[in-house]
Structure 1
Amino acid sequence: MTVAQERIERLEVLARDATAECNDDRAREYVRLARRIAERHRLSLPQQFKRFTCDACDAYLRPGKNARVRLQDGHVVITCDCGNQARYPYD
């Protein structure tokens, strides 16, 4: 595991903790920083990190707190407070 991957994982933990403490601005900064590191080192973000971040506003999503999760025919729809929706398939 490279240093960049370790840093991205650490930033994910920090973003999750900051969101739990209702510090959304700090969590956004952690998400933005992790994305910049991934782009710079040509890495893909971990799947869990991608699923729990909003592409539009960089918020770290917590279902029930700043995101709504709904199940529809064959996919999960996650709606952020900003209105952005992400759809992921499930079997």
Structure 2
Amino acid sequence: MSKRSHPRVKAKRLAEVRVEILWEQAKKAIKSGRPEIARQQMFSARKIAQRTRTKLPQHINRRVCRSCGSILVPGDNCRVRVRHNRSKHLAVTCLNCGRVKRYDINK
């Protein structure tokens, strides 16, 4: 008997490919000066990931603001600072909505 792949596994693989395609298109839209289109594409990518119960890849998740959905470009629409409050961390502030994301820096 041959093994069949489950439809859920196929759906997740397809969703990962679609999310990557939307990410590439959103980066092109940002470079051409159309942030609203990039925001819509990232909203669609997040919905695809939610529907298939998969996580967005880390390299995408760290570059998208969770509250307003815009792609974060340092120096353009976000501010990046290294802070030393309790522990050393990177603070990324979205200049569109003001949300701050913190990432621990471990040596």
Where on the TM-score scale, by shorter chain, does this alignment land: which range? over 0.9
Aligned residue type for 2:102: R
39, 59, 64: which one aligns with 2:50: 39
Q: Any stretches of 5+ residues in structure 2 without a counterpart?
A: 1-11
Identity of aligned residues (%): 37
What are the within-5 Å matches in structure 2 for residues 17-56 of structure 1?
17-56=28-67
Partner of 1:85: 100
2: distance between equivalents of 1:20 and 1:69? 20
Q: How many residues are paired up?
A: 91
* Aligned Cα root-mean-square deviation (Å): 1.1
Relative contact order, CA 8 A, sep 6+: which one is greater?
1
- Which structure has the larger Rg over C-alpha atoms? 2
Give the Å deviation of 1:71: 0.7
List alignment gaps of at least 5 residues for structure 1.
none
